[in-house]
Amino acid sequence: MARKDRNTDESYAQDVFDNPPQGPIGVHRGNRSIASRLVPFLIVIIVAAVAGVGTWAAMSGEGAKLFSSGSSASSSSSPSAKSTASASASASASDTASASASASESASESASASPSESTSSPASSSSVNLSAQVRVVNGTRKTGYAAKQAAVLTGAGYTNVVAANPSGSLPSASVVWYQNESDLATAQDVAAKLGISNVSKVTNLSAPVVVVLMN
């Protein structure tokens, strides 16, 4: 009768370790995809290409040309910016000078116009009084001449005009006399209406304004 060897499997009772499950047991990695396996090779190829381009640029001098062209472009743009700023500053200075010249011309025109205006306007200390008494004296041999000139003043708006004959000495030319400074404007207006250029101040008159017609 044959004996069973103690070293054989039949000398022990069967357990879970004697019947392991099918397939790998323990920590195992699954199958990797093709893309994940190609990534390291692509990285190596890209790094090698970049290094080759850098080495070629350094040895052939193309890198220096690129840097020099970039510096030239920046330096050429800087003078144009400076020239633009200079042109703007020049334009502003020109505009300011033009404005100053215009202001000076306006001031000189105003200054030159002021004296002419002051000389053209009659010097008077009061306004024209159309109700003031005006006496028109006929010193000529023309009959009714004083009444005729008095009618001219009445037509101009004067309300107190009297025609009269002369008494006493007469001037050599037609004249308009006024008695007070307040009558100066009225005397000047009467003289202008009658075409008389001589206006004088005389005291002790028979009326505030006296017109003596001599021609």
Residue-wise pLDDT for 189-210, tens only, equals 999 999 999 999 998 898 999 9
Residues 199, 188 contacting (CB under 8 angstroms): yes
Could you tell me the two tokens for 212?
Answer: 């003596």
176 contacts 210 by C-beta, under 8 angstroms:
yes
Give a yes or no: residue 11 inside a domain: no
pLDDT score of 55: 81
- Name residues of the chain where pLDDT drops below 50: 1-2, 4, 6, 73, 75-77, 79, 81, 85, 107-108, 110-124
Does any domain span residue 19?
A: no
pLDDT at 190: 96
Tell me if 144 is assigned to some domain. yes
Which uninterrupted H or E stretch holds 27? Answer: none
Tens of pLDDT, residues 30-52: 566 777 778 888 888 898 888 88
Of 121, 146, 163, at which residue does a domain stop? 121
Q: Do residue 94 and residue 145 come from a single domain?
A: no
The first and second tokens of residue 20, run together, are 């392991």
| pTM of the predicted model as reported, rounded to 2 decimal places | 0.43
Give the per-residue pLDDT at 120.
Answer: 34
Contacts of 194 (CB under 8 A, 6+ apart): 149, 152, 153, 174, 176, 211, 213
The pair of structure tokens assigned to 52 is 């080759």
Same domain, 72 and 50: yes
Where do the DSSP E strands lie in the chain? 134-138, 161-164, 175-178, 199-201, 209-213
Distance CA 128, CA 190 (A): 9
| d(C-alpha 148, C-alpha 193), whole Å | 13
Structural domain boundaries enclosing 41: 33-121
- What's residue 65's pLDDT? 59
According to DSSP, residue 14 is labeled -
In terms of domains, do 77 and 157 share one? Answer: no
Order of strands across the sheet with 161-164? Answer: 161-164, 134-138, 209-213, 175-178, 199-201
Domain count, the chain: 2
Domain end position, chosen among 62, 91, 121: 121
Taking the mean position of all CA atoms in its chain, how far away is CA 9?
112
Of 91, 121, 151, which residue constitutes the final position of a domain?
A: 121
For position 110, what pLDDT does the model report? 46
- The rounded distance, in Å, linking the Cα atoms of 188 and 191 is 5
- Reading the block at residue 192, the tokens are 């202008």
Residue 211, beta-bridge partner list? 136, 176
* 29 token code pair: 């990695």
Residues 146 and 199 in one domain: yes
pLDDT of residue 35: 72
Residue 87 lies in a domain: yes
